[in-house]
Amino acid sequence: MHRRTLDAEFAGFVREHRVDLVRTARLLSSGDPHRAEDLVQTALVRAYTAWSRVRNSDHPVAYVRRSIVNAHIDESRRPWWRRERSVALPPDTSVTTADDDLGEAVRSALASLPPKMRAVIVLRHWLDLSVEQTADWLGCTQGTVKSQNAKAVAKLRHLLTPEGQTTR
Amino acid sequence: MNDIKRLLAEALNEESTPMTVDPSEDVARGHRHLARRRTALVSGVAAVALLVGGGGVLIASTVAGDDGGSTRTDPAVLRQTGAPAAEDSVGPAQPRTPQVVLVAYTGKQPKGYKVAQVPEGWVIQGGTESSLVIAPEDAKDKDPNSFADKIAVLSTSSDTPPESLRDGTPTPVGGVTGYYRADAGGGTQILTYQDATSGRWVDVQIPPSLHWDAERIAEFAAGVTVVGGAGDSHG
């Protein structure tokens, strides 16, 4: 198949799935749009490079999502990466609404989780992966996934439950 | 679990999420990445461009043997050398060329791989932890990071979907089963197999100018062993 045809097909894939991929990346990066964009771009470049193979896999979207998760974990092992970065343009000013107070609180709570624990939460609760799939993606045991998930859920509920209310 | 999903949805701040997508930038980034790495598909396109644009000279320079690279059309020669017409993916108008034979490799072994055989008249240009490049001895392009019209052996990425590694026609490679694709882009042939010694999955990319069939590619691949630390092909 010619590169031009593959390009057109890849472009169609991006058009269809990019917004969803960015959502997943944003959750992994605790709402940071720039870091999320980095993760998505990294994953899409990998997918493009292997597109003739990825397109024939059972779940091309899963391939890219998994690449995003891998990039997220890899990046979290490089602490220097986030210290300071120059960008061409100043960041977009976010639109703040009353509802976004909760959104900001959730993003802060997610940011308080270690990267791998955050990944467990995103894979299990946002992407609805099974414990087995999550363990496979993260390269850990199912027991680790269960314990990390339990700790993360407890911490999120603790941080996001208004004082005076009990959590269930 | 639902309350967690609802909370995650709140965290997305959809007002600042772009809802329209222009894929051209992602495609352009992919192009640039491929250009830097000179990966398989670019090499295939370049090879086809050379062949279509009067690349008979290139074929002549890469085909070893007493015929001096002349293009034969005698079907008996094709039968003898094992090049089936169906796998001559360059096109119906392309002159048929005999396969380049394999000879024992006696030179210095490259980093990351051990090589038993190379095409006659071809040399190892370079080996890294993730790639091995073999090219015609008189190739003008001496850059081991450029794969155009060369053999490239690449360790597959750890991100590669496991099911896609078996994408292709099952083909015996030594004691294991490889998977052969006759045209992975621009006439480039790819044989994917799991190296028995290291357990790593490997892509062997063959340029159309060699006119190899799956059997010959498997014969070459069976002589390649991944050694100490050959790693992921994605950077």
B112/B132 Cα distance (integer angstroms): 8
Per-residue model confidence (pLDDT) at position B231 = 55
CA distance A111 to chain B (A): 11
Residue B19 CB contacts under 8 Å (≥ 6 apart), including other chains = A19
CA gap B67, B63 in Å, rounded: 9
Å from A158 to nearest chain B CA? 12
Q: What is the pLDDT of residues B120-157, one digit of tens each?
A: 888 998 877 778 889 988 888 887 777 778 898 888 76
- Provide the pLDDT confidence category of residue A128 given band limits of 50, 70 and 90: very high
Whether residue B26 and residue A31 make contact (CB cut-off 8 A), yes or no, is: no
pLDDT at residue B51, rounded to an integer = 54
Is residue A30 very low, low, confident or very high in pLDDT (cuts 50, 70, 90)? very high
Domains of chain B: 23-87 (no CATH), 102-226 (2.60.120)
Residue type, position B154, single letter: L
**Taking the CB of residue B207, how many other CB atoms lie within 10 A of it?**
29
How many CA atoms within 13 Å lie on the side-chain side of B40? 31
Residue A23 in this model has a pLDDT that exceeds 60:
yes
Contact B30 A10 (CB under 8 A): yes
What pLDDT is recorded for position A12? 94
Phi, psi dihedrals of residue B84, rounded to the nearest 5°: -70, 140
List CB contacts of B76: < 8 A, sequence separation 6 or more.
none
Which residue's entry shows tokens 């593959």?
A: A6
What was the pLDDT predicted at B176?
86
| Residue in chain B lying closest to A17 (CA) | B21
Which pLDDT belongs to residue A6?
86
User: Which secondary-structure segment (H or E) carries B78?
Assistant: helix B75-81
What are the backbone dihedrals phi and psi of residue A105, each rounded to the nearest 5 degrees, phi first?
Answer: -65, -40
Q: What is the pLDDT of residue B87?
A: 32
Residues of B in contact with A27 (CB under 8 A): 8, 11-12
- Report the alpha-carbon distance of residue B97 to residue B55 in Å, rounded: 13
Amino acid present at B46: A
What pLDDT was estimated at residue B132? 86
Indicate whether A111 pLDDT > 90. Answer: yes
pLDDT of residue A78: 53
Share of chain A above pLDDT 70, in %: 81
The reply to whether B7 touches chain A by the CB within 8 Å rule is yes
Selected for mutation to probe chain A from B1, B10, B190 (highest A CB count within 10 Å) is B10
- pLDDT given for residue A79 in this prediction: 43
C-alpha dihedral sign at A138, A139, A140, A141? positive
pLDDT, position A16:
94
DSSP for residue A122? I
ipTM for this model: 0.82
Residue B66 contacts A where some CB pair is shorter than 8 Å: no
Cα dist from B168 to A52, A129, B180, whole Å: 12, 29, 5
- What is the rounded average pLDDT of the residues A112-130? 94
Q: Look at residue A92 and tell me whether its pLDDT is greater than 60.
A: no
Any alpha helices (H) in A2-141, and if so which ranges? 3-28, 33-49, 51-54, 60-76, 100-111, 115-121, 131-138
- pTM value? 0.51
Take residue A66 and report the two structure tokens written for it. 């998994």
Which residues in chain B have Cβ-Cβ distances shorter than 8 Å to A65?
A: none
Task: Give CA–CA dist B41/B188, Å, rounded.
Answer: 8
Q: Closest approach of chain A CAs to the CA of B73, in angstroms?
A: 27
Residue the block writes with tokens 């772009």: B18
Gap between the Cα atoms of A15 and A141, Å rounded: 35
A166 or A124: whose pLDDT is higher?
A: A124
Q: Which residues of chain B have pLDDT under 70?
A: 1-2, 14-19, 37-98, 157-159, 161, 163, 184-186, 228-235
Contact A28, A18 (CB under 8 A): no
Q: Provide the mean pLDDT of chain B.
A: 70
What integer pLDDT is reported at residue A165 of this predicted model? 60
pLDDT higher for A152 or B234? Answer: A152
Chain B segment 14-33 residues within 8 A of A by beta carbon are: 15-19, 21, 23-24, 26-27, 29-30, 33
Strand (E) or helix (H) holding A147: helix A142-160
| Dist. CA B193–CA B191, nearest whole Å | 7
A106 to chain B: which residues are within 8 Å by CB? Answer: 7-8, 10-11
